[in-house]
């Protein structure tokens, strides 16, 4: 089945868009006593600590972004140190501050409302320093927690309709969204934010992978129920948003994978109570893919678009030279990794336009 129900999409869009009237009349207010935790914490799983010592990349952020399309050839299996750096600079805690209201966590990628509702999971075969399994990344203590032991990559190969990048990946990072952590403030608009905030994380992830010459791709089409089941998500509250296969293995992962059974793992409650916004679940159901054939069709050839002929006055573009671009290295300082460079470049470009 496809996910092309445009009527459902327009219903959600029109029902959650801002207007002058909605901004003035919305009675919603923030219940600070019920603010959700910014982390998903598995209370009964033993952590696998990640290495914390990172050497400077020495790579200019713009160069890392430009290198995203230049995937190295041949076998590439990331080790635990590389995986740790990718996770840290994608969704890790880069700074902590104490305020009268409690501890404030600064993260590598920006998020709407600083609510950090996107979680990362890792599904991998045996990697140098890490055995095959399904893991959850905990930014709060910078550790992985094993949900399943064994090589489950075959589940992702099937769910993605045999996507080549997934089929050859030694590891796959999965982004999920927990509705309530963002809906506490933004209500039903949260489904929009799921993909905005995943995008900021994935932008960082791709850039850091490029620095380490690890091939990385984005696989946005997959059988939703299969991946959600693998991660044992409570799909009324949290769902898979995208897959990011990392590296390149010499052979296909094993198929079939071990049996996927329910886990029912205990997690720390996010808050005292949660408010359900059915419009989110309806929109996600309408946009989900339900079988491999549907995924393959969705991933088919893009429609051919004939651009209109230019009209009016044309303004030639003069690309900037490497020496005239900001030289900010790929790191997290006062701004979020790649975002900092984009901001510096935009400010530089704005000043140039203003001066001319």
pLDDT tens digits for 50-59? 999 887 777 7
Spatial distance between the Cα atoms of 160 and 219, rounded to a whole number of angstroms: 8
Per-residue pLDDT tens for 252-283? 655 678 899 999 999 999 999 999 999 999 99
Decide: residue 70, CB within 10 A, 0-12 exposed, 13-18 middle, 19+ buried: exposed
Per DSSP, 168 falls in state T
Residue 214 buriedness (CB in 10 A; 0-12 / 13-18 / 19+): buried
CA-CA distance, 105 to 250, in Å (whole number)? 40
- Please report which residue ranges of 212-328 form alpha helices under DSSP H: 224-231, 278-287, 292-298
Query: For residue 256, is the peptide bond before it cis, meaning its omega torsion is within 30 degrees of 0?
Result: yes
From the list 257, 239, 233, 243, the residue with the least C-alpha distance to 299 is: 243
Mean pLDDT calculated for residue range 313-322: 81
CATH topology of domain 39-260+273-297+330-355: NADH Oxidase (3.40.109)
All structural domains of the chain with their residue ranges: 39-260+273-297+330-355
Contact present, 271 and 36 (Cβ < 8 Å): yes
Phi, psi of 51, rounded to the nearest 5 degrees:
-60, 140
- 294 vs 73, which has greater pLDDT? 294
Rounded to whole angstroms, the Cα distance separating 144 from 121 reads 9
93 or 73: whose pLDDT is higher?
Answer: 93
What percentage of the chain exceeds 90 in pLDDT?
67
């Amino acid at each position: 089945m496809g996910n092309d129900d445009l009527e459902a999409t327009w219903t959600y869009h029109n029902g959650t868009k801002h207007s002058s009237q909605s901004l003035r009349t919305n009675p919603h207010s923030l219940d600070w006593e019920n603010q959700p935790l910014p982390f998903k914490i598995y209370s009964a799983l033993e952590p696998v600590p990640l290495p914390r010592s990172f050497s400077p990349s020495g790579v200019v952020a713009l160069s890392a972004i430009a290198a995203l399309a230049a995937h190295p050839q041949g076998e590439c299996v990331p080790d635990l140190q590389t995986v740790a750096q990718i996770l840290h600079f994608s969704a890790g805690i880069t700074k902590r501050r104490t305020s009268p209201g409690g501890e404030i966590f600064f993260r590598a990628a920006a998020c709407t409302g600083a609510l950090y509702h996107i979680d990362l999971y890792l599904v991998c075969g045996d990697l140098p320093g890490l055995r095959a399994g399904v893991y959850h990344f905990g930014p709060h203590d910078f550790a992985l927690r094993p949900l399943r032991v064994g090589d489950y990559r075959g589940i992702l190969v099937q769910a993605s309709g045999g996507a080549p990048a997934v089929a050859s990946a030694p590891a796959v990072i999965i982004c999920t969204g927990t509705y309530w952590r963002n809906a506490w403030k933004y209500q039903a608009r949260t489904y929009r934010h799921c993909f905005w905030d995943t995008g900021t994380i994935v932008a960082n992830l791709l850039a850091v992978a490029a620095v380490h010459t690890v091939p990385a791709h984005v696989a946005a089409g997959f059988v939703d129920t299969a991946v959600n089941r693998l991660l044992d998500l409570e799909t009324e509250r949290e769902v898979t948003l995208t897959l990011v296969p990392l590296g390149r293995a010499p052979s296909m992962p094993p198929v079939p994978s071990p049996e996927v059974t329910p886990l029912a793992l205990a997690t720390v409650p996010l808050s005292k109570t949660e408010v359900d916004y059915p419009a989110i679940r309806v929109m996600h159901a309408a946009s989900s893919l339900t079988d491999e054939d549907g995924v393959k069709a969705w991933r088919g050839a893009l429609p051919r678009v004939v651009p209109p002929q230019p009209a009016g006055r044309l303004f030639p573009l003069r690309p900037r030279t490497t020496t005239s671009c900001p030289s900010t290295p790929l790191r997290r300082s006062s701004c979020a990794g790649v975002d900092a460079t984009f901001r510096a470049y935009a400010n530089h470009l704005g000043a140039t336009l203003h001066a001319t």
